Structure 1
Amino acid sequence: MNNTYGRMDAAFAQSLVDIVAAELNKNVNILDDKGVIIASFSRERIGQVHESGAKMLGAGVVKEFYVTKEEECSLKGMRQGYNVPIMFENRCIGVIGITGDQKTAGPYARLAARFVEANVQSNAQQEKLVGALHEKEELRSVFLNKIIMVQEEERKRISRELHDETSQSLTSIIVGLRMLAEQVEDSKDKEKILKIRDLAVTTLEAVHHIAVELRPVLLDDLGLVAAAKKYIENYAKQYEISLHVDFSNLSRERFSPEVEITLYRILQEALTNIVKHAQATEVSVSLNKRQDKLMLMVQDNGVGFDTKMAESTHSRTCLGIYGMGERVALVEGNLTITSVIGQGTKLFVEIPLEEINNLDIVD
């Protein structure tokens, strides 16, 4: 059957005709809902109008009918035989006819009609299920996108508050403690105040780190390239890993917010996984644009892992990989992860770009 809901496919109809005709040694025809022959053991009849069938279908009275010997002689292109309507959801979608006398041809015509109806019904149900599945996937993508957007907006809000309010308050405390320490003459009291000041400085650094992890200001203000470079710079300082970075063909170019946050989060997740699991000493990161595609590659020389086994488990790493795949799918991109145990891992992301989403900053 074809994918047209509730209609017969000519190829299927012809295969059924050939089987029935060979079994009965009779001519078999299948008509569409207009009375046109779409399948016949006599190939030359395909495309012709079956006058009796067309008349019955046109009258709107659906019923079985028999072409007699006399009608065969008087009607053009007709042959003696029994014809049975093919029904689908209370409407006639065609007719199947088998040549011969009424007693012999009738049961076979009814059986063949029921077979066609069952096949049409089966395919219609399959099409409904496929359609429902597509709708479910579309809704899932919409909801997932909404969830990610809400999460990112909340991250942005908290990050801004930490940066603008909490950080400023801590800075004021640090300055105040420093001034207080200068006014105190007792050395022990001064030492206590300076220790509190140092604790406030450490807290300020931790708050700044949390704010950047939640949502770097650079990402919103200057874009993906600036934010990614800064993240990699801090990453290299924090961990003893040799980093090779290639951001060729990109300077201050901007992309859609969805693409930028997607690639930034994937870079974040990939580099975090390397620290936690890979035991790598060298990491390569490249971000390039070629024609209408933006590509991110993160590769390490770590211990690697079995990708097939990872897919069947529910470890934190696998959830991270799953999350990356979900994010990439939402921007219609592709994510590929290849890994060999003892030889490292390579993550490659490719995202299509639209002209309208590219924003070039003019100096």
Structure 2
Amino acid sequence: MPQQKITHLCLVKITMELDPRFAQSLVDIVAAELNKNVNITNNHGVIIASFSKERVSHIHEAAARMLTSGPIREFSVTTNDESRLKGVRQGFNVPIMFGDGCVGVIGVTGVPDTAAPYARLAAKFVEAALESNARQEKLVRALKEKEELQSILLNKIISVQEEERKKISRELHDETSQALTSIIVGLRVLSEHVQSEGEREKILEMRDLAVKTLEDVHHLAVQLRPALLDDLGLVAATQKYIENYSRQYNIPLELNVLNLSRERFRPEIEITLYRILQEALTNIAKHASATQVMVTLKKQRTKLILIIKDNGMGFNADILSGVGSDTCLGIHGMHERIALLSGEFYIDSAEGEGTVITVEIPLKRHKKAESGLGQAH
């Protein structure tokens, strides 16, 4: 391409805001393709991007006058215009059309007849770039809206699940447990009024079975929704769960609580950390063959941190990309819950070296957590 021409591009924003960084990227591309100087102005005719950096903030009067004088059209800059107008050079100028109107002007300096093809080519390129950028922004917005809708839906699902768990837990505790307690008392009284030793033994066996059933119902109610979590908070519920877990599975478990006492947090934070603790410890009991577990729950400035470490067999972290096991599904569920609260979730594991799960949840409320999960309390 001949070297004597100097391309002058000026794009003035009319129906859209032109980001200076985006404008500079267009300047660099067009200038490299045409090997010319390129400038872009805003809707006041002030240059906001230029291949010749010293021209930034200068006014291009010809473009500004055309855009405010009436019909949008191609126009030439003569040598006479160059001498009497500020910031212009002889050449040919082409409007850039985008959307419903004109968003700028491209000017190529030189003899107008020679400069015209370059100006029109540059205008088409910039129009294509703007169209592409607009389509990309539209896709990004659509994807963001989809992700937000998915988060809201998942939030609502978790909220409904927690409310249903809470309802069933209360029914088991208030109705089923009381009914079983009445049966146990009745069987004990009945055993005292029978004459046959054999009949008394059968009644006592039935009483023992009812006691065992009552214990199972109580355990199920706690698993569904511990009353301590609602009444006393995360620390008390964690301490009680770990005590029962260690006794049930006969696994030594150490709990470290730092910078916390009976402090309460938003319900969605407390139930999320409690569910993650449940899921992680259940996975350890089922799959890890661990002989020692350490749980740390601490507050660190503006976030809560939960760390669960075991000395079990560990696993290859690459399997987390699949969904072929209950363990992967459980970990995926943990990750989804944490993501709703804008938290962080890390797993460090290797075969034969145990596993460390770290969860960090910010205490500051986030939009994702306001759409339903906060109601599950």
Instruction: Mark yes or no: TM-score above 0.5.
Output: yes
Q: Within 5 A, what are the aligned runs for 1:68-107?
A: 68-107=78-117
Q: Deviations over 1:309-328 (max 9, x none)?
A: 32234321111111111111
- Aligned partner letter, 1:226: A
Stretch of structure 1 that moved more, 6-15 or 113-122: 6-15
Match of 1:192 among 193, 197, 202: 202
Q: Provide the residue aligned with 1:123 in structure 2.
A: 133
| Cα pair 1:67 1:78 within 8 Å, conserved | yes
Q: Does 1:12 align with 2:22?
A: no
| Cα pair 2:27 2:38 within 8 Å, conserved | no
Deviation, 1:108, is 1.0
SS in 1 for 2:258: coil
- Aligned partner letter, 2:31: D
Q: Provide the residue aligned with 2:299 in structure 1.
A: 289
Q: CA RMSD in A?
A: 2.1
Match of 2:118 among 99, 108, 127: 108
Higher RCO (CA-CA < 8 Å; seq separation 6+): 2
Structure 2 unaligned runs (5+)?
Answer: 1-14, 366-377
Q: Provide the residue aligned with 2:72 in structure 1.
A: 62
Q: Deviations over 1:187-233 (max 9, x none)?
A: 22222222222221121111111101100111111111111111111
Q: Could you say if the C-alpha distance between residues 72 and 251 of structure 1 is closer, same or farther in structure 2, counting changes exceeding 3 Å? A: closer
Please, what TM-score do these two structures have when normalized by structure 2? 0.86
Q: Provide the residue aligned with 1:358 in structure 2.
A: none
Q: Deviations over 1:99-152 (max 9, x none)?
A: 122322111111101111111121122222222222222222222122111111
Structure 1 unaligned runs (5+)?
Answer: 356-363
Q: Could you say if the C-alpha distance between residues 214 and 106 of structure 1 is closer, same or farther in structure 2, counting changes exceeding 3 Å? A: same
Q: Provide the residue aligned with 1:150 in structure 2.
A: 160
Q: Deviations over 1:299-347 (max 9, x none)?
A: 1111101112322343211111111111112222211110011010001
Q: Percent identity?
A: 62
- Aligned partner letter, 2:207: R
Q: Give the paired residue count.
A: 349
Stretch of structure 1 that moved more, 56-65 or 162-171: 56-65
Please, what TM-score do these two structures have when normalized by structure 1? 0.90
Q: Could you say if the C-alpha distance between residues 20 and 307 of structure 1 is closer, same or farther in structure 2, counting changes exceeding 3 Å? A: closer
Distance 1:242 1:21 in 2: 73
Deviation, 1:17, is 5.1
Stretch of structure 1 that moved more, 26-35 or 89-98: 26-35
Q: Could you say if the C-alpha distance between residues 74 and 20 of structure 1 is closer, same or farther in structure 2, counting changes exceeding 3 Å? A: farther
Q: Deviations over 1:31-58 (max 9, x none)?
A: 3333333345555443333222112100
SS in 2 for 1:336: strand
SS in 1 for 2:104: strand
Stretch of structure 1 that moved more, 144-153 or 191-200: 191-200
Deviation, 1:245, is 1.6
Distance 1:189 1:148 in 2: 49
Q: Provide the residue aligned with 2:214 in structure 1.
A: 204
Q: Within 5 A, what are the aligned runs for 1:248-263?
A: 248-263=258-273
Q: Provide the residue aligned with 2:286 in structure 1.
A: 276
SS in 2 for 1:253: coil
Q: Provide the residue aligned with 2:169 in structure 1.
A: 159
Distance 2:69 2:336 in 1: 55
Distance 1:178 1:77 in 2: 104
Deviation, 1:74, is 4.3
Q: Could you say if the C-alpha distance between residues 354 and 116 of structure 1 is closer, same or farther in structure 2, counting changes exceeding 3 Å? A: closer
Q: Provide the residue aligned with 1:133 in structure 2.
A: 143
- Aligned partner letter, 1:183: H
